[in-house]
């Protein structure tokens, strides 16, 4: 009985293609995971800064409520307002700012020693970049 040799040429080629595909997919998975980690870190930093500003705003609001409830006259109320508070007619305004140049702008209205929030807005100051590359300036 004569044995024929096993031809492994095509089988070897298919195995090598599969190995190369798996290696490429592994590298792509790693790159995607790192990009997602960077994005998640940016999102976490953004949320942390948002909540830091919210905390500053809530602390200021609490101080104003305490002053309004304890003050016996309007002059005493205005004298004991927290630092950074601006009086604008019947509105009290406060701007909290963090290190990322984001601001929380708050305005409350005084009504019979009660306060009502009329503005609570977070904004980030936009800064125009001078060097924008090779763009046409018109």
What is the model's pTM?
Answer: 0.69
pLDDT of 1: 65
pLDDT of 77: 82
Residue 131 lies in a domain: no
Write out the residue range of the structural domain in which residue 113 sits: 14-124
Task: State the distance between the two ends of the chain, measured CA to CA, in whole angstroms.
Answer: 86
- Average pLDDT, whole number, for the chain? 88
Residues of the chain with pLDDT under 50: none
Domain count within the chain: 1
Helix (H) or strand (E) holding 67: helix 9-70
Tell me how crowded residue 104 is: count the other CB atoms within 10 A of its CB: 22
Look at the block and give the residue holding tokens 């909540």.
51
């Amino acid at each position: 009985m004569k044995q024929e040799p096993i031809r492994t040429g095509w089988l070897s080629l298919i195995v090598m293609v599969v190995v190369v595909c798996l290696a490429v997919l592994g590298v792509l998975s790693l790159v995607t995971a790192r990009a997602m980690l960077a994005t998640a870190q940016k999102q976490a930093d953004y949320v942390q800064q948002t909540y830091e500003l919210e905390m500053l705003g809530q602390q200021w609001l609490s101080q104003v409520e305490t002053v309004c409830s304890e003050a016996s006259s309007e002059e005493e109320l205005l004298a004991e307002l927290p630092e950074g508070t601006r009086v604008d007619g019947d509105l009290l305004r406060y701007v909290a700012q963090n290190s990322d140049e984001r601001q929380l702008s708050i305005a409350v209205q005084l009504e019979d020693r009660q306060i009502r929030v009329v503005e609570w807005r977070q904004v980030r100051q936009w800064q125009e970049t001078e060097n924008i590359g090779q763009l046409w300036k018109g």
